[in-house]
Amino acid sequence: MREVIRQRVESNIGRVRNLIEIYETHLMGKGSGRRGHLETDVLRSATVFLHASLEDFLRSLAYWKLPEAEKSVIDDIPIVGSEGNAKKFWLGELVEHRGKSVDELITESVNEYLERSNYNNIDELSNFLNSISIDPARVNSRFSDLSELMERRHQIVHRGDIDESGGRGNHRVRSLGRSPISRWVAAVEEFTAAVLAEVRT
């Protein structure tokens, strides 16, 4: 499973690099100066997809490792098919799960829970790592870059990357170039490799 996850994140990052290459070969043009937002929107797309690649990596790990987590972690996950509190459910809710093993029920509950999961900041990322018994301090060398990526993705997705300070023309949208995205790509690559090295099989 580790190799499947590694290949998947590499493939996704390859798609991000392809978007960056499209910008470099078809949209960047020559000369210095700030590029217009219509040209750099492909870099915004790359930013959003890079964050999605990171989330997909974390969710893939979660599907693999959360069903094996300790009681305190499983306690926070509602039983599959319930909309109630994870800490409390009626015994009758188990009726529809007759014939399933406990492991099957836990896995189904984890899978349903993960369909609604997000990793939008370093605290959420660190909490997840703790839940699968990885010490965040052992893989945190690029956390500042990952935090920057997450914040910029939020700005793009929820605000269209509009500059709230009231810029005009090309300056109405926040500037974005290849340098920060290249740094974020490297951060995701280093972080995912470090995490996979820590995962117990």
- Residue spans per domain, the chain: 2-71+120-198
- Total length of the chain: 201
Contact 89, 79 (CB under 8 A): yes
Whether residue 166 has pLDDT greater than 90: no
Would you state the pLDDT for residue 40? 93
pLDDT tens-digit profile of 39-68?
A: 899 999 999 999 999 999 999 999 999 888
Contact 102, 128 (CB under 8 A): no
The better pLDDT of the pair 142, 81 is held by 142
Whether residue 185 has pLDDT greater than 70: yes
Would you state the pLDDT for residue 95? 78
Nearest to 44 by CA among 133, 122, 164, 157: 157
DSSP secondary structure string for all residues of 40-52: HHHHHHHHHHHHH
Supply the DSSP symbol for 94: G
Would you state the pLDDT for residue 84? 60
